[in-house]
Structure 1
Amino acid sequence: MNIVRKLTLRHMKENKRRTFVTIIGVIISVAMLTAVSTLAASFIEGMKRQTIAEQGEWHVLYRDVNKDQIEAIEQDKTTKDVLLSQDLGFSMLEGSENEQKPYVFIKAYNEKGFSNFPIELIDGRFPKSEDEIVISETIMKDANVQLKIDDKLKLGIGDRIPLDDDYGTEPLDQSVSLAYSYDTNELVEELEVHSNQAFTIVGIMERPNWEPVWSPGFTVLTYLDESVLEAGHTVNASVSWKKVNKAQKNYAAELANKLKLTAFSSEDFNQTLLRYYGVFSDDLRKTLFTFSAIIMAIIIIGSVSLIYNAFAISVSERSRHLGMLSSVGATKKQKRNSVYFEGFIIGIISIPIGVVSGITGIGITLMFINEILEKAMLGITGSLPLIVTPLSVIVACLVSILTIFMSTYIPARRASKITAIDAIRQAEDIKLTGKKVKTNRLVRKLFGMEAEIGLKNLKRNKRRYVATILSLVISIILFLSVTYFTDSLKQVNNMTTDHLNFDIVIHQGGQTDEQWNRLVEKTIALDTVTDYSKSNIFNVYTWLGKSEIPSEMQEITYTNEQDEHQLYVEIITLNDEKLKEFADEVGVDFQELQSQDILNGIAINKTSFGIDNKYYELQPLKKPAGESIKLFGDNDEEEFYIDSINIMTDTEALPVGVVLDNGLKVIVSEQTLKEVTSNIASGDNDQFFDFYESNLYLKSSDPIKTGKEIDDIREVAIAATNFHEVKQQDEQLILLLSVFTYGFITLITLISVANIFNTISTSIALRKREFAMLKSMGMTPKGFNRMINYESVFYGMKALLYGLPISIGLMYLMHRTLGSSFHSTFTLPWGSLLFVTFAIFLIVGSAMLYASSKVKKENIIDSLKQESI
């Protein structure tokens, strides 16, 4: 080791505190970079596993392949596994009470198909022969056909043949719901049976997640015997590749062409899964990597500020030593390399520790996140794994090395230019003029001599002053911008979910009146149901003049020849108990609402809608209370007048079950709705009653338990939505985002605080001689404290002067960006602004007090003898 490197190591040991702070800052920086790259890799891997759990592990599907083609696929160099499947057809389900699902849909898999596709067995086993079958539990729940393991099932298997030209001429598959005539609303399909087969039930499974909710058949699975291929049958082959990359997409298309599969298209790739491999373009993947790159850039900026400042101070402290080395023959390269060597030593120590710390930290974070995912029921079947790839570690290390190099480059150049004469005279550090340190006279008049001296000190040590201000400004910007972004997402979430004043909604569709009444009666009797509202909804519309409707809504509404705008209206009834409660709440006479002489209603004068992907909330009706609105309907041929409803009052209060959307809500009594609908002539206008629906809205002390209890008591399939789960998912996603964003703020703030403490404490330490001189001239301890306090104030004020306007500008840009999707008013987060102001003065004040406390202990005579600055 040469003499220059020995002196560098000695200097680092003598300045243990500064070296330690620098190493800690670099470790935090490397840990954050490692965490970001590891988190991105872990998230992508988690999404891959989630997709595999939902859709199975396959990459490309070859349809209708024969035995020879399958052999060619299996022998191909890129093939890992081949999953065979065959759609055998539909069969009538005897005894089914579900009018919308009268069939079973029979699908066959080979052994690898059962193991690789997401099929969840509840009881029993998978089929091992062609006469064995696994049925879905929904057959018992939704069709009320009670079957069990070992039961025999005789099925007449065939194709669904459409009888109406609107559905084409080809057999209908499982993705097409029951075919009904658009004119007569009668069933226009028949089952053409081509074979009969008996099966033994050997297992019961959950409803496959690939089965569409609207499908007309309950999925059942049997075994695909590959010997059927000898007879010339064709099957579908889902292939998983050994290696997944972009080249595989073109290779798969070439293989399909070679096998003469003319029907092959890009739709036959598992695009959802392949997006996470980068084979297909994906906005989520691009956003994730872009976001990661932005975070890394911010980390680099914060880290460079700390590390550069540390090395700049080091060069300043060592300037006399470097000058002395120059006087005895040290070259520019040797002096420059001494700084690079210091950076190398710090990197050798910091980078390995930072990588391990980053991986450990993100591992702990993922443990916390996975616990949230389990509680939140976000539809994620597996936890986010901790994935440490060589690429993520290499990226973190290379970026860290680049950060250290960028931080040392300028100080190294400065070191190489130091001459012997300048270093001994300290010329570089004393190049000041009176103009540069001149202060305003008001400073002394208002705050005293101590304030003026403090301000001159800041100007005299401009490099350190700027470095400290930069660190403070970065902290302010990061905290305020990220906090505003998170709060904005919460506000957006509240705009879309705050009006949901119920937990569960059940729709009557698909049930008879008797079944519906029994379900309502049993449901409202559940112990967990705390409140409910049963309502009927009748969809009509009205015409309003331009002065009676907001200008924003005029863009999305139809106009007639009279230049009136069409506004959709929902006439909503509440059961008498709930209607009386709501009438009392808004100050309306309940008896008048039930009057048959004048049809009265309460307008919910609040709506939400979207225009060009922008979300609005406003009042749709400008008519004053006491006026009537005319109701209209149409039967696809002509418009007809229904009736008029007098608006007794308007309100933005929402009764249980009323959901905001694009239109006007009018609350009426059940008698009023009967009167309105009775005015519609029968015959040609029968189709208009398709817009009539009944719903049951529930509040629950335990919505999850209530949902399960409803599932147990229902007689047939029902359409129900648990909005509690939706709201909980949104809240948990915001929480997950907060974990990352505030964790990021904390770590980057630690870097900035370390920089501030390092800069201020070093600056104070290097001013020992100056302070001793001031004390020798009569500055009292009280005056010294005032000078230090004023310096702290000046640091804080200057940082806030730059940091707050930049932060507000960034917040406004975020608001404008979100404003493209949500209509809201820009408001300053005064709480965050006050907090960051307090925090800045606290950080600077603490650093100054810490550094000055050590200076106070110094002896004046010893400090005056100090030769170095």
Structure 2
Amino acid sequence: MNIVNKLTLRHLKKNKRRTLVTVIGVIISVAMITSVATLSISFLDLMKRQTMATDGNWHVSYKNVNKNQLKTIKKDKETKALIISKNIANGTIEGTNNKNTPSLFIKAYNAEGFKHFPFQLTKGRLPQTKNEIVLPDEMKGKYRIGDQIKVGTKQRDSSGKEKAETFTVTGFMKQQTWEFGQTGPAAFSYVNQNMLDQKDRVDAFVILNHVNNALFDHAETLAKENHIDKVITHNSLLRYYGVTRGDFLRTTLNALAAIIMSVIVISSISLIYNAFAISVSERLKYLGMLASAGATKKQKRASVFFEGAIIGAISIPVGIIAGISGIGATFWFINPYIEEALDVTEKLKVVVTPMSIIMACGISIITIFISTYLPARKASKVSAIDAIRQTHDVKLSGRTVKTSKLSRKLFGMEAEIGLKNLKRNKRRYRATLFSLIISIVLVLSVSFFTTSLKKSLELAGKDINYDIQVSSPGGNTDKLKPLAKLNHVTKYSLVQQLTLESWVDKGMVPENFLEDTTTNENVFKNGKFAYDINLYGLDEKDFKNYAKRIGADLKELQNPADPAAIVIDKASYQDPKTGKYIETKSINKALGQSIDLFFSHNDAEKQTFLGKVKIGALTDQVPMGISKSRFGELNIIVSQKTMHALLNKQMEKAAQANLYLNTSNPMETQKAIEKVKQADMTVENVHQKGQKIHQQYMLMSVFSYGFLTLITLIAIANILNTISTSLSLRKREFAMLKSVGMTESGLYKMINYESIFYGIKALLYGLPASIAVMCLIYWSNQFTFEYGFTFPWMSLISVVIAIFIIIISAMLYSMRKIKKENIIEALKQENI
């Protein structure tokens, strides 16, 4: 090691506080990049594994293919694994006389299918031959392993006799949720390619060698060349690989990723640069001393780069370990919550990729190089005497440190001295200010990003806030009430529903509806737009609770002489032309205006005018069982008394009665309903679909708020580190002020005014910058999701309050440490 490097190393050891602060700044920066990258990659990995655990692991499916087509698919260069699926039977088990026993749906899979689809055995083994079968758990009491069952297929042989298949039971499994379309309990058998003949038709599920955007065109070309009618891609899984068919969605994802990563990278660079910039005066002083001893420009540069290398060698590995460890600890803490609250089968695992580590190291190394090179370059232009005396940073001209006379009159001498100090040493002031601005931009941008992410998921999903729906024609909800008292029911809602029409002036129709509608006579009539009206009648108790929840005037809504309704004023739908998910106003009407209601008769084009209903409240909140309006729809909610007053007997017969249930055991509740329901009732169990949407929403929320919490903690650490370091470097200054008579309370007063000035200045720059980033995020979302811009007022208020609390706390904490210093020793002190 040469003499210059030895001196540099000794200088770093002697100035322990400055070295430690610089190291901490770099560690925080590296940890931020590493943790954000690790969090994102780990979350996508969780979503992939959870989708595979619920819907199976496959990328492309070819429907209804024959044996020759199957061979071609298997030989395709992109096929990594081939899953075969064949419908075997859908009939009753022979020897069962109970009419209420549902049909048994039997499907066969090959070995790859049993490997890549989520079969959950509870007892026994999976089938290995075509005459073996695994049954659902609900049949465990009726049958045992080794029993033989004969299932009618509802197909007939050449003699006209119904065919039957005989199977040996090999095991039992949990109720599956990924197979749809069956009419009864699902059971599974075995099939392979050698068992098929030319007349057999199967579904082929393919796991690909390369998962990229080219797979869509490749699958369609393969299907077209081999005369395969239908191709389906596993979009719910592919989106987590970053593979989407819609160009708009891909543009949105790429734009969002670019914006957020740019914010994080810029913030990371600023953290490292600030860590060096705050104490740049001490570094220049040291370089001036080297120059006075005869060091050349090359030797000074070598000294600076050696210092950066030492700091990087310590900080970068520690930052990477800290980032990964922090994410690991976070996952350990939230995994139990995810498993219990969201009922998911997979856990968050820390996934680290070489690219994320390389990116963190690369950004840090480049930034350290720039941060160390600039002082060396500046030192080469400054004389050794000026560098040692540090006159290049301290500006004492009257014009430079001039302050307003008003500031002294309003706030006193302490405030004026504080402002003069900020103007005197602009480098340190700018470094601290920039650190605050970056923290504000980070927190507000990520907060807006998480809100946008949730909003996008809401628009792409469906509003399902119940588990089971029971419907009955005639509008009589009384006969559905007994079902609400069944076991496991936790909440219910009785709703009457009638579809009506209304003709509305063009000026009251949102532009989205007009743009996305062809002007034909079915939609427009005499310049008016046709709305499909969904009129819902809630029972009195539910209606009162709903009106109270949205803050509506209940008396006005329950006046029979002047019928009034609650109108859902938000509509969301997917544009069939562009594929965009759009949220817009459902109608441009105000409180107190009326809507004409028409009843359309089935036997003719005749319409009956029911009357007018006044808009008593407008809201985007929906009661249980009711969703936001779709394209060209208007959802209107009244009490059942108001609904009876509006309808005659013929119209009431055309209405439908609905019972919406939430239950702790949807499958058992459905079975209980099936046993006692009347013939005209229909039952739909949407628990599985709703649960999947809820899981996605909650997982996204965990990711979003975890991401926001992480960034917030990093921002706070950045502010505390920057401010405490800045104050520590001012020990001599504070000692000098004390020596000329400034009291301790005066010193605190000066610091408080500096804190307020820092906060106001940071907000003046940080808020516009944050709004600009929010607009960019909103703009990128508009490629796929169209909704109104909502300014995050609560986040902004929280940041404003937090920024002052953190600044003042950091300054007061540092001052408590500084006040213990001896004035004489502090004035003599050269190093920190």
- Equivalent residue, structure 1, for 2:578: none
Matched to 2:721, the amino acid is A
Distance (Å, rounded) in 2 between the aligned partners of 1:478 and 1:649: 42
- Please tell me whether residue 539 in structure 1 is matched to residue 508 in structure 2: no
Stretches of structure 1 that go unaligned for 5 or more consecutive residues are 161-190, 681-688
Q: Which amino acid aligns with 2:719?
A: S
**Aligned position for 2:433:** 469
Which amino acid counterpart does residue 9 of structure 1 have in structure 2? L
CA distance 1:133–1:423, change in 2 (3 Å)? closer
Q: Which residue of 2 aligns with 1:686?
A: none
What amino acid maps onto 2:706 in structure 1?
Answer: V
Deviation, structure 1 residue 739: 1.9
Q: Are 2:591 and 2:617, in contact at CA under 8 Å, matched by a contact in 1?
A: no
Pair 1:524-2:485 in alignment:
yes
Contact 1:765–1:851 (Cα < 8 Å) also in 2: no
Q: Is the 8 A contact 2:136 2:175 kept in 1?
A: yes
Whether the aligned pair in 1 keeps the contact of 2:110 and 2:191 (CA below 8 Å) is yes
Q: Distance in 2 between matches of 1:548 and 1:238?
A: 49
**In structure 2, C-alpha distance between the alignment counterparts of 1:601 and 1:522, rounded to whole Å:** 31
Is it true that 1:404 corresponds to 2:372 in the alignment?
A: no
Residue 802 (structure 1) aligns with: 765
Check the 8 A contact 1:369/1:736 in 2, yes or no.
no
Written as runs of structure 1 = structure 2, the 5 A alignment for 1:553-572 is: 560-572=524-536
Which consecutive residues of structure 2, in runs of 5 or more, have no partner in the other structure? 576-580, 676-681
1:304 corresponds to: 269
Deviates more, 1:394-403 or 1:330-339: 394-403
Relative to structure 2, which stretch is displaced further, 603-612 or 8-17?
603-612
Aligned to 1:360: 325
Tell me if structure 2 keeps the 8 A contact 1:306–1:754. Answer: no
How far off is 1:492 after superposition? Answer: 9.2
Q: Distance in 1 between matches of 2:228 and 2:533?
A: 47
Match of 1:757 in 2: 724
* TM-score, length-scaled by structure 2: 0.78
CA contact (8 A) 1:135 1:201 kept: yes
Name the counterpart of 1:451: 415
1:12 maps to which residue? 12
Aligned residues of 1:37 and 1:395 also touching (Cα < 8 A): no
1:212 is aligned to 180
Partner of 2:679: none
Residue type of the alignment partner of 1:132: E
CA distance in structure 1 between the partners assigned to 2:547 and 2:211 by the alignment: 64
Query: Would the aligned equivalents of 2:149 and 2:167 in 1 still touch at CA under 8 Å?
Result: yes
Shift of 1:750: 0.7
RMSD over aligned Cα atoms:
5.2
SS state of the match for residue 537, structure 1? strand
Q: Provide the residue aligned with 2:56 in structure 1.
A: 56
Instruction: Select 1:152's aligned residue among 145, 149, 154.
Output: 149
CA distance in 1, matches of 2:24, 2:288: 30
Q: How does 1:237-248 map to 2 (within 5 A)?
A: 238=205, 240=207, 244=210
SS in 1 for 2:392: helix
- Tell me the residue number matched to 1:334: 299
2: CA distance, partners of 1:92 / 1:255: 40
Give CA deviations for 1:146-186 in whole Å, capped at 9, x if unaligned. 877625214346499xxxxxxxxxxxxxxxxxxxxxxxxxx
Which position in structure 1 is the counterpart of 2:115? Answer: 115
| Contact 2:342–2:698 under 8 Å retained in 1 | no
Query: What amino acid sits opposite 2:167 in the alignment?
Result: F
Distance 2:565 2:221 in 1: 63
Cα deviations by residue, 1:176-213 (Å, 9 ceiling, x for unpaired): xxxxxxxxxxxxxxx99996543344444455544334
Aligned residue type for 1:353: V
Q: Decide which of 647, 664, 667 is 1:705's aligned counterpart.
A: 664
Cα 1:644–1:400 shift into 2, 3 Å: same
8 Å Cα contact 2:66-2:199 kept in structure 1: no
| Secondary structure in structure 2 of the residue aligned to 1:152 | strand
SS of the aligned residue for 1:212 comes to coil
CA–CA separation in structure 2 for the residues paired with 1:513 and 1:129? 51
Structure 2 Cα separation of the partners of residues 56 and 468 of structure 1: 52
Equivalent position amino acid for 1:155 in 2: G
Q: CA deviation at 1:751?
A: 2.0
| Distance of 2:545 and 2:423 partners within structure 1 | 70
The alignment status of 1:413 with 2:372, answered yes or no, reads no
Partner residue, 1:742: 709
Aligned pairs (5 A) from 1:812-827: 821-823=786-788, 826=791
CA distance in 2, matches of 1:361, 1:660: 40
- The counterpart of 1:587, out of the listed 535, 555, 564, is 555
- Whole-angstrom CA distance in 2 between matches of 1:309 and 1:850: 24
SS at match of 2:180: coil
Q: Distance in 2 between matches of 1:427 and 1:761?
A: 20
Whether the 8 Å contact between 1:67 and 1:229 is mirrored in structure 2 is no
Residue 389 of structure 1, CA deviation: 2.7
Corresponding position of 1:173: none
Quick one: distance in 1 between partners of 2:199 and 2:590?
Answer: 71
**Residues 564 and 393 of structure 1, relative CA distance in 2, 3 Å threshold:** closer
The 3 A distance-change label for structure 1 pair 565 and 86 is closer
Kindly provide the CA deviation profile for residues 694-715 of structure 1, in whole angstroms up to 9, marking residues without a partner as x: 21134xxxx4525355134122
Task: Name the residue aligned to 1:347.
Answer: 312
Question: Which region of structure 1 is more displaced relative to structure 2, 815-824 or 215-224?
Answer: 815-824
1:852–1:657 CA distance, 2 compared to 1 (3 A): same
For 2:638 and 2:475, how far apart are their aligned partners in 1?
Answer: 25
Distance in 1 (alpha carbons) for counterparts of 2:242 and 2:719:
36
Which deviates more, 269-278 or 302-311? 269-278
- Give the residue type in structure 2 aligned to 1:676: N
Rate the CA distance shift 1:339–1:641 in 2: closer, same or farther, 3 A: same
Aligned equivalents of 2:764, 2:547: Cα separation in 1: 54
Asked if the contact 1:91/1:158 (under 8 Å) is kept, the reply is no
Structure 1 residue 617, shift from structure 2 partner: 5.3
Measured after TM superposition, the shift of residue 27 of structure 1 is: 1.6
Q: Does 1:608 align with 2:580?
A: no
656, 676, 688: which one aligns with 2:648: 676
CA distance in 2, matches of 1:812, 1:505: 40
Q: Which residue in 2 is equivalent to 1:845? A: 811
Q: How far off is 1:90 after superposition?
A: 5.6
* Secondary structure, counterpart of 1:718 in structure 2: strand
Q: Tell me, in whole angstroms, the C-alpha distance in 2 between the residues paired with 1:668 and 1:631.
A: 18
- 8 Å Cα contact 1:132-1:201 kept in structure 2: yes
Say which SS state the counterpart of residue 639 (structure 1) adopts.
Answer: coil
- C-alpha deviation, 1:673, in angstroms: 8.0
Q: Which residue of 2 aligns with 1:434?
A: 398
Distance in 1 separating the partners of 2:392 and 2:23: 27
CA shift, 1:119, in A, is 2.6
1:353 deviates by 1.6
- Scaled by the length of structure 1, what TM-score is found? 0.75
Q: Assess, with a 3 A threshold, how the Cα gap between structure 1 residues 727 and 234 changes in structure 2: closer, same or farther.
A: closer
Per-residue deviation at 1:357? 1.6
Residue 35 (structure 1) aligns with: 35
Aligned with residue 658 of structure 2, among 669, 681, 695: 695
* Matched residue SS, 1:587: helix
- Structure 1 541/556 Cα, relative in aligned 2: closer, same or farther at 3 Å? farther
Partner Cα separation in structure 1 for residue 306 and residue 148 of structure 2: 80
Please report how far the alpha carbon of residue 5 of structure 1 lies from its aligned counterpart in structure 2 after TM superposition: 0.9
Alignment identity in percent? Answer: 38
* CA contact 1:120–1:206 (8 Å) conserved in 2: yes
Structure 1 residue matching 2:231: 3-state secondary structure: helix
Letter in 1 for 2:180: P
Q: Which amino acid aligns with 2:650?
A: S
Q: What's the secondary structure of 2:348's corresponding residue?
A: coil
State the secondary structure of the residue aligned to 1:155: strand
2:660 counterpart SS class: strand
DSSP 3-state at the match of 2:526:
coil
Q: CA deviation at 1:470?
A: 0.9
| 1:799-844 deviation line (CA, Å, top 9, x unaligned) | 2333344445555776788897444764733742551353254146
1:836 maps to what in 2? 802
CA 1:359 to 1:97, structure 2 compared with 1: closer, same or farther past 3 Å? farther
Structure 2 SS opposite 1:715: helix
Distance 1:201 1:498 in 2: 39
State the 1:11 CA deviation.
Answer: 1.1
CA 1:747 to 1:542, structure 2 compared with 1: closer, same or farther past 3 Å? Answer: same
